[in-house]
C-alpha cells in the first residue's frame, strides 16, 4: 500500500482530535474542569491517556480547543440561524428556543452551556477562557434583542427595557439548565408556556 499522503494524514490527525474533543466536552460538562480526569476523557474517547498529550499540550488546552471546536460546529448557533428565518411570531421563537435549550440536555450544546457556567464560577480561569465565555454570552444577547423588540412592536411582549427582558430570559434558562433540567422534561410545553407568561402581554 502506498504511504498515506499528507492530506490523508492530516485528516486522520483531525479525526483523532475531534474524537478526543467530543469526549472531552462530554466529560468536562459532567464533572467540571478540575474534577475531570484526563484518563476519563481518554476512556470515553477509547484511547490511552498518553495519546491525549500528543494532540494537546495540557488539560487546559484540551478544554480550550474543545470549546472552540464545539462552538464552531455549534448546533445552538445553527439553531439560532434557522430560528431567525422561521416564519413564526417572536414569542413562538422564544418558546422554541427554550424548548431546544432544555430538551437538548444530552447534546453538545447544553454541555457547552454547563462548562461555561462551571468556568464562570471558578477561580483562576485563564483570561482567554474567560473572554471566550463572555463572547458566547454576548452572542446570545445580541441575537435575542431584535426578537424582543419585534415582539414588543407586535404587542406580544411587554414594554420593558429589552436588555433587561433578554437578561431575565437567558439567566433563568441558563440557571435552570445547569441546575435541574430533568424536572422540565415532563410536560415541557406546558411549563414553558407558564414560564413565558412573565414576558407576554395577554
Partner DNA sequence: TATGAATGAGAATTCATTCAT
Partner DNA sequence: TATGAATGAATTCTCATTCAT
Positions that interact with a copy of itself (CB under 8 A): 30, 32, 34-35, 117, 120-121, 158, 160, 164-165, 167-168, 171-172, 174-180, 183-184, 187, 190-191, 194-199, 202
| 126: helix, strand or coil | coil
Q: Which of 24, 25, 26, 36 touches DNA by CB under 7 A?
A: 36
Minimum CB separation of residue 29 from DNA in Å reads 15
Supply the minimum distance, in Å, between the C-beta of residue 24 and a copy of itself: 18
In angstroms, the CA 150 to CA 74 distance is 25
8 binds DNA, rule: CB under 7 A: yes
Residue 160 sits at φ, ψ, to 5 deg, of -135, 165
> Residue 35 CB, nearest distance to DNA (Å)?
7
Which long-range contacts link 4-13 to residues 24+ away (Cβ below 8 Å)? 13/55
State the Cα–Cα distance between residues 44 and 24, nearest whole angstrom. Answer: 8
Residues in contact with DNA by the rule CB under 7 A: 1-4, 8-9, 12-13, 16, 36-39, 47-51, 53-54, 57-60
Amino acid at each position: 500500500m502506498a504511504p498515506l499522503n499528507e492530506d490523508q494524514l492530516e485528516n486522520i490527525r483531525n479525526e483523532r482530535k475531534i474524537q478526543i474533543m467530543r469526549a472531552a466536552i462530554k466529560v468536562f460538562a459532567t464533572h467540571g474542569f478540575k474534577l475531570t480526569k484526563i484518563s476519563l476523557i481518554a476512556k470515553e474517547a477509547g484511547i490511552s491517556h498518553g495519546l491525549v498529550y500528543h494532540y494537546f499540550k495540557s488539560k487546559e488546552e484540551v478544554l480550550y480547543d474543545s470549546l472552540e471546536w464545539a462552538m464552531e460546529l455549534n448546533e445552538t448557533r445553527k439553531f439560532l440561524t434557522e430560528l431567525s428565518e422561521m416564519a413564526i411570531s417572536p414569542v413562538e421563537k422564544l418558546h422554541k428556543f427554550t424548548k431546544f435549550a432544555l430538551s437538548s440536555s444530552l447534546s453538545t450544546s447544553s454541555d457547552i452551556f454547563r462548562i461555561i457556567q462551571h468556568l464562570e464560577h471558578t477561580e483562576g480561569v485563564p483570561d482567554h477562557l474567560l473572554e471566550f465565555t463572555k463572547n458566547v454570552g454576548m452572542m446570545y444577547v445580541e441575537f435575542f434583542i431584535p426578537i424582543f423588540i419585534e415582539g414588543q412592536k407586535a404587542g406580544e411582549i411587554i414594554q420593558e427595557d429589552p436588555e433587561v427582558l433578554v437578561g431575565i430570559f437567558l439567566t433563568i434558562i441558563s440557571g435552570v439548565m445547569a441546575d435541574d433540567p430533568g424536572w422540565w422534561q415532563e410536560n415541557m410545553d406546558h411549563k414553558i408556556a407558564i414560564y413565558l407568561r412573565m414576558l407576554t402581554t395577554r
